[in-house]
Chain A
């Protein structure tokens, strides 16, 4: 007889926990044994005793936190079954960023898939998502509303190139998360035939080098020399989202503020960030992809970790799929935590779920506390709170 899904996976203050295998997945606090889906700092934190992840994710963590980010590490080869405690785990590409993987856990004839963050859209910088049929599918819902339908990225990149052509005397400053998005934008620009140097903010440099060393061609990507910013008329510059409104970016010639993010789909979000050229490029699934991925997995039960849980749960329920929101805290949107200069410390950005009444999105309250000085940010609004 099959085990119940909750025997395989439960929710703890540290994050999702597999009692039979005695490990956590993407824990937000240091734990004994952690399986990490991908390298974004809200999922991959330092200080665990042992970490299992894909080779690329381990490399990314090493670059971010130093080689001693965990007591010990173990590489998880893709698509290979590994025994951990009393369960079998398997890492399968998730299509989110370089090295990102879903973790499937099998025991007693039941399979649970923790997808981490994932997308179905094409991405030249990472392996595409592979569907893993399962009984319980654990999904994010960052863009879990039917208004989020990501357009073709090529069109978005052409928008940027058209603007560069129209305003050759201005610099285009593109905010993009340092891991994944930045490199994807570079790769997309190259695919569209842009062969001039793409200038990088210092914070982008090491991860971009890592991507290049993994064999992803990104062309010439010099680091911006502070003293020469005023000479970069007509250039495309990629920097962390937090820098697009900084003094740092104001030193470029009449900068055009761009931001590559799924949030840019909603005009108000773009305006709140002071973005003049929003580029709807997301590393997450849009609504259609969330829905059809759930169907493809064949799962009879869906748990929604974070994001716009309510809408996706509603959709599942109306399609005869059991679903529940986990209201998990500590996971940002689109690598929001990237913006912090340091990886969050224990307990930061996280509160016991009991006091929240279970119906609020996490970032609206938690992340601002990490960045008290930042101006209007593209936070997901407190969508859930008026919901029944």
Chain B
């Protein structure tokens, strides 16, 4: 567990892809089976244990610490896993306290559980003279000496394999005790990694693809080859490591419908237009859905195997049985998951209601019918079409879709254009060039080189995304709120408002909140601004000075507006971010609510619901 913890720790700080790869291969090279295989499974999301809830962790730590000190610490650190890992009373403390008190006391200590009304208080008043053990975090090293020669055996540090195998078999009621044992045995980094692992929140910036690439690098093997055998394998992947290290045969793919890495695009920048020749490109709409790959083949028994993968290769077939049913072909196609009702593409908001459901019921399927709008083909039967030019693949795709004749799978139409100006006009108003009612679900154009092969990853010069321009509004900062995680000490979330007529003349009404779009340097200045102009404090929120003659103007960019009853102003912004800080602009010259009303009126014909945070979004 310690090696794995050290790896996660180091990965979490490492921004560079190549250095991450080096750390991963170093770990895989020096860690024995089956630990390294379980580590690979953890990083590729292939582990199948029931995750522990943060509440369990919290409960354990609250039994062991002074609640007030825990609260201050959590507030300071800004991350539950990390706070718990750091504040967790090391077992030496406990044992020592027991010895120095000369009494055989139950473990864990019994004082001060939150919610037990006054228990903490009693302990406080009784002070150090009671026979209770002193609170572990404060125990201190003065009592370390008595532990020498103590009868308790040293805690057993679990291996990663032990942790994972135990998690797979432990009942829910036994879990807290097991977790507590491990926490006692591990050091700070180990505890942090354990919590990340068992709550399935690794977040160390390693994609499944990167982890597989690292495995491939152990031998002289292309990452795609690992990808191809991947779905036939299971943790702890001993056959895979044996193969890449030249000690074993290549594992059977076992999967007649494997995932192939998706091809991704770059954003189209203004300066690109002068360099790119419009006649060499084709364009499609960019759909506001979820990127999927559908693959189908025949198993060794001749039965059809049909799979649906996310753009990162996660098998999501179970979530879309209605779509799986429609995959009556052999090969692999690439497209966008949309919800289509009565022939009309629904908004992303509607799509979200189909996602992340535990049970996919007939009712859910009927209400949110899944639809695949396809734009590329990677394989047809055994034939790899990826080296073919895009235009050629498109013809093969059109033929396949026509053959299928299933309303659940259709073609993403091409957008005809001669010049970039034509395309700009189409992008600005998709409905005018045949998008019809589906214009609602279009968020720009995809521009693809007609001769581009289908390449894994994000190769330069082939595919571009050209998103619709955001709306801009000049608003006045009204509140600053402290951020979390990386920004836990900074006022990094800003609520801003625009002018409207109030009972006492013009007043600012909040219209949104944004917490990104600025650089780290700008954040330092904005944080300083909030601190230096505070007029009111509400917990983590500060109200800043604003008015006709004072205040900071923020140019806010956003993707759309929606009416909202939750907001005072009656509007909610979609994806707002700080576009520019207008240090120069007087607050009195910020925009009025009418500016937003106008956008709203336009938007009411083209419904653009608010994207909920945290939804998995494709990045085409």
Contact = CB atoms under 8 A, between A and B. Distances in A.
A binds B: yes
Interface of A: 120, 145-149, 151, 163, 166-167, 265-272, 275-278, 287-289, 291-292, 295-296, 308, 310-311, 314-315, 317-320, 364-365, 368, 374-377, 379-383, 385-387
B196 to A, nearest CB: 11
Given A375-B524, A376-B524, A291 B140 contact: yes
Interface in B1-47: 10, 12-15, 19, 22-23, 26
Nearest to B139: A288
Nearest to A320: B127
A280 to B, nearest CB: 9
Given A365-B531, A368-B524, A295 B140 contact: yes
A272 B486 contact: yes
**8 closest residue pairs by CB, A with B:** A381-B489, A292-B140, A147-B86, A146-B137, A320-B127, A291-B138, A147-B73, A318-B124
24 contacts: A146-B138, A147-B73, A151-B188, A166-B26, A167-B19, A266-B82, A268-B488, A272-B489, A275-B13, A276-B13, A276-B19, A278-B13, A288-B138, A288-B139, A292-B141, A314-B72, A318-B123, A319-B138, A320-B127, A368-B524, A381-B488, A382-B482, A383-B72, A387-B72
B354 interface: no
A289 B14 contact: no
A220 B142 CA distance: 37
B531 A364 contact: yes
Nearest to B134: A319
A163 B23 CA distance: 10
Contacts of A151: 187-188
Most chain A C-beta atoms within 10 Å of own C-beta, residue among B77, B82, B139, B482? B77
Given A288-B140, A315-B138, A375-B524, A145 B127 contact: no
Given A147-B76, A151-B188, A365-B531, A271 B486 contact: yes
Contacts of B154: none
A269 B482 CA distance: 14
A146 B128 contact: no
B76 A145 contact: yes
Given A277-B10, A380-B489, 12 more contacts: A120-B141, A146-B138, A147-B87, A287-B138, A288-B140, A292-B142, A314-B69, A317-B124, A318-B124, A368-B528, A377-B524, A381-B490
B508 to A, nearest CB: 24
Contacts of A381: 76, 482, 488-490
A149 B76 contact: no
A386 B75 contact: yes
Contacts of B138: 146, 287-288, 291-292, 315, 319
Interface in B496-544: 520-521, 523-524, 528, 531-532, 537, 539-540
Nearest to B26: A166
B524 A288 contact: no
Contacts of A291: 138, 140
Contacts of B13: 267, 270-271, 275-278
A276 B490 CA distance: 20
B520 A375 contact: yes
A63 to B, nearest CB: 32
A310 to B, nearest CB: 7
Contacts of A380: 489
Contact of B540 (A277, A310, A386): A386
Contacts of B162: none
Contacts of A268: 77-79, 485-489
Contacts of B77: 147, 266, 268
Contacts of A272: 486-487, 489
Interface residues of B, number: 55
Contacts of B488: 268, 381
B293 interface: no
Given A267-B12, A314-B68, A320-B127, A364 B539 contact: no
Contacts of A278: 13
Contacts of B68: 314
A74 B489 CA distance: 42
B265 interface: no
A380 to B, nearest CB: 7
Given A151-B187, A311-B69, A319 B128 contact: yes
B140 A386 contact: no
Contacts of A375: 520-521, 524
B278 to A, nearest CB: 39
A341 to B, nearest CB: 19
B213 interface: no
Given A265-B86, A268-B486, A381-B76, A149 B520 contact: no
B76 A383 contact: yes
Contacts of A145: 69, 72-73, 76
A379 B87 CA distance: 20
A229 B582 CA distance: 40
Nearest to A270: B13
Nearest to A266: B77
A275 to B, nearest CB: 7
A310 B75 CA distance: 13
B336 interface: no
Contacts of A319: 127-128, 138
